[in-house]
Structure 1
Amino acid sequence: MNIAIPSPDRIIDDSRARLDIVVAKEADLAMARLGRTEDVRFSPNGRYLAIAGFAKGTCLLLDVEIGRSGSRPILHVTDYMELHSAALNEPHGFDFIDDRTLVVANRMGGVVVFAVPLRSAARRIHNLTPLRTITRAGLGTRLHSPGSVCVASMENGRCELLVCNNYRHRITRHVTSTDGGWSLPRNSVLLEQGLDVPDGIAISPDKAWIAVSNHMTQSVLVFDNKQRLNRQSRHVGTLLGVSYPHGLRFSPDGNRIYVADAGTPYVQVYEPHRGNWAGEHGPVTSVRVLDDETFHKGRHNPEEGGPKGLDLDPSGELLVVTNEEQPLACFHVPDLRT
Structure 2
Amino acid sequence: MNIALPTRTIVVDDRPADLPFVVDQHVADVIAQLGRTEDLRFSPDFRRLAIAGFGRSMCLLFDVEIVRSTDKPVLHIKDYIELHSPDLRDPHGFDFVDNGTLVVANRGGVVTLFALPSMSGQQRVYDLSPSQVIRRAGLSRRISTPGSVCVSAIGKGRYELLVCNNYKHRVTRHVIRPGGWSLPRNSILLEQGLDVPDGIALSPDKAWIAISNHMTHSVLLFDNRTRLDRRSAHAGTLCSVGYPHGVRFSPDGSMIYVADAGSPYVRVYRSAGNGWSGEHAPVVSFRVLDDQTFQKGRHNPEEGGPKGLDIDATGELLVVTNEEQPLACFHIPTLLSQKNFAN
Q: What do the CA deviations read for 1:204-243 (whole angstroms, capped 9, x no partner)?
A: 0000000000000000000000000000101010100000
Corresponding residue for residue 142 of structure 1? 142
- For the residue of structure 1 that corresponds to 2:16, the secondary structure is helix
User: Residue 255 of structure 1 contacts residue 275 of structure 1 at CA under 8 Å; is this kept in 2?
Assistant: no
Query: Which AA in structure 2 matches 1:79?
Result: D
Q: What do the CA deviations read for 1:10-64 (whole angstroms, capped 9, x no partner)?
A: 1123531110111112211111221000001000111101000001000000111
Q: What do the CA deviations read for 1:137-188 (whole angstroms, capped 9, x no partner)?
A: 001100000000000334211011000000000000000113x525310100
- For the residue of structure 2 that corresponds to 1:296, the secondary structure is helix
User: Residue 15 of structure 2 contacts residue 286 of structure 2 at CA under 8 Å; is this kept in 1?
Assistant: no
The alpha-carbon distance between structure 1 residues 147 and 8, as it changes in their structure 2 partners (threshold 3 A), is farther
- CA drift of 1:9 comes to 2.4
Counterpart CA distance in 1 for 2:27 and 2:122 is 14
Corresponding residue for residue 110 of structure 1? 110
Q: What do the CA deviations read for 1:84-126 (whole angstroms, capped 9, x no partner)?
A: 0110000000001111110000001000000110124320111
Corresponding residue for residue 231 of structure 2? 232
Give the paired residue count. Answer: 331
User: Residue 8 of structure 1 contacts residue 286 of structure 1 at CA under 8 Å; is this kept in 2?
Assistant: no
Higher mean C-alpha displacement, 315-324 vs 68-77: 68-77
Query: Which AA in structure 2 matches 1:43?
Result: S
Corresponding residue for residue 321 of structure 1? 320
Counterpart CA distance in 2 for 1:272 and 1:64 is 31
Corresponding residue for residue 297 of structure 1? 296
Corresponding residue for residue 87 of structure 2? 87
- For the residue of structure 2 that corresponds to 1:136, the secondary structure is coil
- 1:1-338 equivalences in 2 (<5 Å): 8-13=8-13, 15-178=15-178, 180-181=179-180, 183-274=182-273, 276-338=275-337
Q: What do the CA deviations read for 1:266-323 (whole angstroms, capped 9, x no partner)?
A: 0000011115101000000001100000000000000000000010012211000000
TM-score computed with the length of structure 1 as normaliser: 0.96
Query: Which AA in structure 2 matches 1:17?
Result: A
- CA drift of 1:71 comes to 3.0
User: Residue 210 of structure 2 contacts residue 219 of structure 2 at CA under 8 Å; is this kept in 1?
Assistant: yes
User: Residue 97 of structure 2 contacts residue 152 of structure 2 at CA under 8 Å; is this kept in 1?
Assistant: no
The alpha-carbon distance between structure 1 residues 75 and 8, as it changes in their structure 2 partners (threshold 3 A), is farther
Query: Which AA in structure 1 matches 2:53?
Result: G
Counterpart CA distance in 1 for 2:114 and 2:188 is 23
Counterpart CA distance in 1 for 2:27 and 2:303 is 26
Query: Which AA in structure 1 matches 2:316?
Result: E
- For the residue of structure 2 that corresponds to 1:72, the secondary structure is coil
The alpha-carbon distance between structure 1 residues 204 and 21, as it changes in their structure 2 partners (threshold 3 A), is same
Counterpart CA distance in 2 for 1:193 and 1:152 is 23
User: Residue 190 of structure 2 contacts residue 230 of structure 2 at CA under 8 Å; is this kept in 1?
Assistant: yes
In the alignment, structure 2 segments of 5+ residues that lack a partner are: 1-6, 338-343
User: Residue 80 of structure 2 contacts residue 119 of structure 2 at CA under 8 Å; is this kept in 1?
Assistant: no
Corresponding residue for residue 3 of structure 2? none
User: Residue 161 of structure 1 contacts residue 175 of structure 1 at CA under 8 Å; is this kept in 2?
Assistant: yes
Counterpart CA distance in 2 for 1:289 and 1:324 is 13
Corresponding residue for residue 4 of structure 1? none
Counterpart CA distance in 1 for 2:302 and 2:69 is 40
Counterpart CA distance in 1 for 2:38 and 2:112 is 16
CA RMSD of aligned residues (A): 1.2
In the alignment, structure 1 segments of 5+ residues that lack a partner are: 1-6
Counterpart CA distance in 2 for 1:168 and 1:34 is 28
Query: Which AA in structure 2 matches 1:250?
Result: F
Query: Which AA in structure 2 matches 1:73?
Result: P
